[in-house]
Amino acid sequence: FSSDKVTVVFVLGGPGAGKGTQCANLVRDYNFTHLSAGDLLRAEQDRPGSEFGQLIKDYIKDGAIVPMEVTVQLLENAMTETLSKTKDGKGRFLIDGFPRKLDQAVKFEESVCKAKFVLFYDCPEEVMEKRLLKRGETSGRTDDNAESIKKRFKTFVETSMPVVDTYDKEGKVVKVVANKSPEEVYAETKKKIEGRI
Ligand code: UP5
Ligand code: MG
């Protein structure tokens, strides 16, 4: 597909910051397709015959970042599929939980398209941990346990925050405080993105 026909917004934030929750709101109110890199990886992991199933499983449980070739390909496939269903080949995407590492950001912007801006949900670790442990009671996610959560936080601080900082220097980051009720977080989101989308 041609990159000038697509609009991409990256949605970043720590594990449990509320990226998925807020993307659902944005999809409802604005004309976006939501692509969660984590959801795409989990679907690929469970797809019978996937050559990456075991690899993805191991990385996710360990809170580590899956080699970017796999993730970028899954995102591109999902974008292509969405665009193939449109008349004009145009599309607007919220890409949730990606890029998580600087090289992924570079690769995606080179081979797919540039992000219009980056929505960053800023939340303290204690709050995120509480949310994830609670969700872990029912989510069935292999990484919603105390040990994996600790590793996810470490990866976020060491590897993913530099992506946010880099975009911030380019003036591309819209930062939203995520340590409030979902409704309050969404109200701030809407206020801050007005005029940018
Ligand atoms: N909740 C949400 N908002 C709340 C609020 N304001 N107040 C109170 N509760 C709130 O929310 C998490 C939980 O908190 C839910 O129970 C929700 O109801 C509640 P959610 O909206 O799901 O938060 P989100 O930020 O989406 O959390 P998620 O757990 O999905 O974040 P991660 O970034 O950890 O997970 P993701 O699925 O993106 O990635 C998982 C793994 O996949 C990574 O660790 C990595 O191993 C791998 N991965 C890659 O390798 N590469 C990628 O590019 C992407 C992922
Ligand atoms: Mg999520």
Going along the chain from its start, the domains and CATH numbers come out as 3-190 (3.40.50.300)
User: pLDDT digit of tens for each residue in the chain (197 aa)?
Assistant: 888 999 999 999 999 999 999 999 999 999 999 999 999 999 999 999 999 999 999 999 999 999 999 999 999 999 999 999 999 999 999 999 999 999 999 999 999 999 999 999 999 999 999 999 999 999 999 999 999 999 999 999 999 999 999 999 999 999 999 999 999 999 999 999 998 98
DSSP for 171-190?
A: T-EEEEE-SS-HHHHHHHHH
DSSP 118: E
Residue 13 forms beta bridges with which residues?
121
Residues 136/145, Cβ–Cβ less than 8 Å: yes
> What span, in angstroms and rounded, lies between the C-alpha atoms of 17 and 2?
32
Phi, psi angle pair for 108, to nearest 5°? -65, -45
DSSP 139: S
Q: Whose CA is nearest to atom 33 of ligand 1?
A: 15
Known binding residues for ATP are 16-21, 135, 180
Q: Whose CA is nearest to atom 2 of ligand 1?
A: 18
